[in-house]
């Protein structure tokens, strides 16, 4: 389930700066993080690091040329990386604070510990732009594992990454 994102960008990273020839104004593209106001308070830091990871990956892709404007779907590898980074922070918070907890990240931690993060992302979070199945996925094994370990699991994503245009004067 993807929750609606907040309308106000919380962070912006300059992406590419294409310039119109002969114009005193040039367009700057920014990678922005759109936070979800419905994010559970105890998970805000986890989803923030997830979104920052995705924003950094998108900004690095802008080196090859301007990014398309609008909400940005993650690449498969980018989604895997961002979820792994969030699980790493979850483990630290869970270890350091006895009162910390998250049903979703408990599940995701189990997935990562079992070595199935790539399979999880493919099965639960697959985007229309992911047309070719990545190599070395163990989907049959994961499907058997998830029937036991993720029986009541509900996948979630809180927030989005977008590319926006900002006009500036020289």
In the chain, where the domains are located = 9-169
pLDDT digits (tens, 9 = 90+) for 124-170: 999 999 999 999 999 999 999 999 999 999 999 999 999 998 765 44
Given this model, what pLDDT does residue 136 score? Answer: 94
Tell me the pLDDT tens digit for each residue of 35-56. 999 999 999 999 999 999 999 9
pLDDT of residue 21 exceeding 50, the answer is no
What per-residue confidence (pLDDT) applies to 61?
85
Please check whether residue 118 is in contact with residue 134, taking contact to mean a CB–CB distance below 8 angstroms.
yes
């Amino acid at each position: 389930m993807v929750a609606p994102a907040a309308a106000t960008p919380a962070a912006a990273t300059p992406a590419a700066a294409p310039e119109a020839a002969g114009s005193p104004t040039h367009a700057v593209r920014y990678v922005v993080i759109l936070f979800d106001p419905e994010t559970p308070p105890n998970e805000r830091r986890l989803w923030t690091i997830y979104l920052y990871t995705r924003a950094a990956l998108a900004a690095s892709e802008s080196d090859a040329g301007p990014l398309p404007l609008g909400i940005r779907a993650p690449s498969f590898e980018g989604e895997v990386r961002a979820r792994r980074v969030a699980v790493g922070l979850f483990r630290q918070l869970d270890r350091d604070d006895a009162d910390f907890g998250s049903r979703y990240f408990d599940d995701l931690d189990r997935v990562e510990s079992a070595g199935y993060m790539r399979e999880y992302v493919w099965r639960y979070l697959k985007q229309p732009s992911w047309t070719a199945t990545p190599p070395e996925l163990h989907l049959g094994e994961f499907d058997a594992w998830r029937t036991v370990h993720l029986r009541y699991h509900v996948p979630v994503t809180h927030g989005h990454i977008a590319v926006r245009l900002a006009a500036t004067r020289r």
